[in-house]
Structure 1
Amino acid sequence: MPTLAPDALPARLAGEPLRPAYLIAGAESLLVLEAADAVRAAAREQGCSERETFEADARGFDWNALASQINAPSLFSAKRLLELQLPTGKPGKEGAELIAGFCANPPPDVTLLVLAGAWSRQHGGKWSEAVSRTGHFVEVREVRAHELPNWLERRLRARGLRADAGAVQLLAERVQGNLLAAAQEVDKLALLDDGRPLDAARMEQLIAESARYDVFGLVDAALNGKPAQVARMLAGLQAEGEAVPALMGMVTMELQRAAALAQTKARGGNLAAEFRAQRVWDSKQAAYTRALSRHDAAQWERFVAEAGRVDRIAKGRAPGDAWRQLERLLLAVADAKARRMLAA
């Protein structure tokens, strides 16, 4: 089944009419999101002013609702974009038949964008092959540790930054395999860029200038059990004009990692293997180990759920003060005695 690399998608979108279907799949959430944004932008440029999202995250998902929208006439524009989110990467029999049927005879006014949060050979089938024939299948593969410097160098170059091998390696060591962190660091470097090529010394200086208060240090402080530092850094981020939604991606990601590690520990599994699976670099494993000793697996799951609530508050989807609730969450991570604050 032919696939398209995420880096190749923008050029393909720019050089051809919008295809009837796209499948973007992989566990690298940042790259999936960026590829999806590229399709959305192309859809808007080509007349898709209507967009509707469906999330097939449970067995009770109503596939007839999606089928009805596919067949419904457009109310406001000539073209529509329908997004189907498949967190498990598996649409089931009914969903697979619907997607394959759509690709066999796509309506001229509908583009179907399928986003899968996981992908392997076991996820594929006739439905994904149908998408690949009718449109494009963008497979987002994991960026491994040895691939990260080249990935960073390409991203820096795309932002107009020139960096030598030493500078890129220094940046790779800072972000420790976290692509969201890497993307944010590159964005900060672009703002601080003065046109000079980046060597290791200059990179270290710019990282220091951008890191007075940052989400990397914030999460590290929480994992390392430093509540006073957490409170100070949060106050600094708020004073510098950061927005809570911009912080929640990394906070949630790190809490999910900790929850997965805690589950492995609770089962008596191979924690070293889980560190590798979660791409926790050697330099951060001690912080996670300390954090895991403070809370059991069930508590880490509650932390992940609370992070979701904070994100909803920050986006206006739930009542409350997002900064206050984020502080309570991270203080609870840092100090088991502070967990009672989460109920407040």
Structure 2
Amino acid sequence: MKIYHNQLNKTLQQGFKPVWLVFGDEPWQKNNSLAAIKNHAKNQGFSEVIRFSSDSSFDWQLLLDEYQSLSLFASQRIIEVELTTVKVGDAGNKALLALAERLAQDIASAHFPHDVIFIFHGEKLDAASANKKWFKNLTQLGCYLPLYDIELKAMPQWLNNQARQLQLTISAELNALLIALFEGNLLALAQELDKLALLFGSQPIGIEQAEQIIIKQAKFNPFQVIDALLLGDCAKCITMLDQLQQEGMAPAQLMWVFHKEIQQLYAMLTQLSQGENIATIYKQYRIWDKRKPLYQHALTHIQLGNVKRAMVRIADIDLLSKTSSEFNIFILLADLCITLYHGEKTAGLSLNYG
């Protein structure tokens, strides 16, 4: 079966599951999920952990042999398998399918011993990997836990839940400050809460006290900048661009994402101006349901003329990035964000500043 991170503890209490599949790129949820599963198993007597890592030279037969062998140290074992890539190849496909079939046969037996738990984990699964027969068969035998980034609107509740577990007293003002400082970096935020719990215990934490202690560790990626841009939050875009510059991100990575998005906005707005139905446009560009509000805002607040101005400007920025080292490309990209919504104000301004 398939569950989500907030359902994990409840699912663990529902009884023994021989297979857990934990896949995703969000580090805090992955660490938390793996720790919760293993701690629960250890409390049930699973005292031995055997770990495998599937690199390009991995012998998949070891997995089957380990399952079928008797442990010399404990009667109950956790077999943990880190998939360094979800593309396991023909040998991996065959071995994992054989393992799933063997597990299914054993579970169907009236004398199936609850003495082995498999934990498979790795990066986010693509659609092709999630549709592999071995993966579907293992999911039917146990539990698949896909990990997704927590959306910004869900962060206050997540933070309050974590504070409650740590017996921290967090005001709404401090909650908002922490989210602003650590957006996009859940692992660092969780570590900061642990630090606050050690320093303050259950005592109320003043906003002034927290500001003196907390270090800004928010981390962003180019796609989060685009989301903020679609929502028209230019100030947030500029903050993110500044952070990415400090982290040393290559401007070319951002240029590609901006160029692709602006070209798509131009095409979508052109089709709308020609009377095309918005639902048809969303389908054509494969806009997911949860991203439709972002595009709804952008398509109703960005003028086609400003997108044309932005296209000219990004072409100029691209040329400057390749021909001169005197310009700060991140500042020019901030100019680009403003142009999309206020192109009439930036149209007369030169990009000739460093």
- Category of TM-score, reference length = shorter chain: 0.5 to 0.7
Q: Which amino acid aligns with 1:171?
A: L
* Partner amino acid, structure 2, of 1:110: V
Aligned 1:110-125 pairs, distance under 5 A: 110-125=116-131
RMSD across aligned C-alpha pairs, in angstroms? 3.1
Say whether the 8 Å CA contact 2:168–2:201 is kept in structure 1.
no
Question: What is the CA–CA distance in structure 1 between the aligned matches of 2:202 and 2:121, rounded to whole Å?
Answer: 37
Alpha-carbon separation, structure 2, partners of 1:163 and 1:4: 29
Larger Cα-atom Rg: 2
2:207 equivalent among 195, 203, 206: 203
State how far apart, in whole Å, the 2-side matches of 1:26 and 1:52 are.
22
User: Counterpart of 2:140?
Assistant: 133
Query: In 2, Cα distance between the equivalents of 1:155 and 1:293?
Result: 31
- The aligned residue for residue 48 of structure 1 is 46
Contact kept in structure 1, 2:124 and 2:146, CA below 8 Å: no
Distance 1:181 1:5, change over 3 A: same
- Out of 87, 90, 93, the position equivalent to 1:90 is 87
**1:1-344 matches, cutoff 5 A:** 2-17=1-16, 19-58=17-56, 60-106=57-103, 108=113, 109-125=115-131, 126-193=133-200, 195-197=202-204, 202-208=206-212, 210-211=213-214, 216=216, 272-273=222-223, 282-289=238-245, 292=248
Q: CA deviation at 1:274?
A: 7.8
More displaced 10-residue stretch of structure 1: 35-44 or 104-113 = 104-113
Q: How much does 1:296 deviate?
A: 11
How many residue pairs get aligned? The number is: 235
Cα distance between partner residues in 1 of 2:163 and 2:67: 40
Letter in 1 for 2:91: E
What is the CA–CA distance in structure 1 between the aligned matches of 2:130 and 2:183, rounded to whole Å? Answer: 31
SS at match of 1:105: helix
Q: CA deviation at 1:130?
A: 1.7
Closer, same or farther in 2 for the Cα pair 1:170/1:291, shift >3 Å? closer
In the alignment, is the contact (CA less than 8 A) between 2:61 and 2:95 conserved in 1?
Answer: no
> Structure 1 pair 291/121, CA: closer, same or farther in 2 (3 Å)?
closer
Change over 3 Å in CA distance of 1:137–1:149 after alignment to 2 = same
Q: Percent of pairs identical after alignment?
A: 25
Distance in 2 (CA, whole Å) between partners of 1:41 and 1:141 is 22
**Is the Cα contact below 8 Å between 1:85 and 1:114 reproduced in 2?**
yes
Shift of 1:173: 0.8
| Maintained 8 Å contact 2:83/2:120 | yes
Q: Distance in 2 between matches of 1:119 and 1:207?
A: 38
Give the aligned residue type for 2:129. H
CA contact (8 A) 2:225 2:240 kept: no
Q: Secondary structure at the match of 2:181?
A: helix
Amino acid at match of 1:123: S
**CA 1:47 to 1:181, structure 2 compared with 1: closer, same or farther past 3 Å?**
same
Unaligned runs of 5+ in 2: 107-112, 228-235, 254-354
Q: Which amino acid aligns with 1:151?
A: W
SS in 1 for 2:47: strand
Alpha-carbon shift at residue 203 of structure 1 (Å) = 3.4
CA–CA distance in structure 2, aligned partners of residues 293 and 41 of structure 1:
38
C-alpha displacement at 1:151, in angstroms?
2.0
Q: CA deviation at 1:27?
A: 0.8
C-alpha displacement at 1:50, in angstroms?
1.8
Counterpart amino acid of 2:130?
A: G
Q: Return the TM-score normalized by structure 2.
A: 0.58
Contact in 2 for aligned 1:29/1:117 (Cα 8 Å): no
CA gap 1:291/1:84 in 2 versus in 1, 3 angstroms: closer
Q: Please identify runs of 4+ aligned residues in structure 1 that moved more than 6 A.
A: 293-297
Q: Within 2, Cα distance between the matches of 1:150 and 1:281?
A: 24
Contact 1:28 1:140 in 2 (8 A): yes
CA 1:291 to 1:21, structure 2 compared with 1: closer, same or farther past 3 Å? closer
